[in-house]
C-alpha cells in the first residue's frame, strides 16, 4: 500500500473505518471491471482507490433505509426491463 496515497486520502475521509470501507469497496469494483477514475501506473487496486479518494473523485455518503429500498426497487425494475428487452 502506498503510504503517500493513504496520507492524502486520510485528509479527505478522516474516519479510518469509512476510509477502509470506501477504499475496499472501490477496489472490489475495480477488480470486477470498473474503470479507474485516475491515471496511474499502479497495479494495486487499493492504491488506485486511495488515489481516487485523495484526488476527490471518490467519496462516500450515508444512505437511509428508505433511500436504499427505493434504489433497490429501481435497480430491480431496470433489470427486469433489460431482461424483457433481451428476450424479445
Express each pLDDT in 21-68 by its tens digit: 999 999 999 999 999 999 988 899 999 999 999 999 988 877 677 777
Q: Decide if pLDDT at 70 tops 90.
A: no
Structural domains of the chain, ranges and CATH numbers in brackets: 3-87 (3.90.940.10)
Summary count for the chain: helices (H), strands (E): 4, 0
**What is the Cα–Cα distance from 79 to 28, expressed in whole angstroms?**
21
Task: Please report the pLDDT score of residue 50 as a whole number.
Answer: 96
8 phi/psi in degrees, rounded to 5:
-65, -40
C-alpha closest to that of 46 among 34, 33, 31: 31
Amino acid at each position: 500500500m502506498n503510504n503517500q496515497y493513504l496520507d492524502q486520502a486520510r485528509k479527505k475521509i478522516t474516519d479510518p473505518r469509512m476510509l477502509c470501507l470506501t477504499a475496499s469497496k472501490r477496489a472490489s469494483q475495480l477488480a470486477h471491471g470498473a474503470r479507474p477514475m485516475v491515471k496511474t501506473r499502479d497495479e494495486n487496486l487499493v492504491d488506485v482507490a486511495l488515489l481516487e479518494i485523495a484526488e476527490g473523485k471518490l467519496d462516500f455518503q450515508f444512505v437511509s433505509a428508505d433511500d436504499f429500498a427505493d434504489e433497490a426497487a429501481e435497480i430491480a425494475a431496470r433489470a427486469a426491463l433489460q431482461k424483457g428487452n433481451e428476450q424479445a
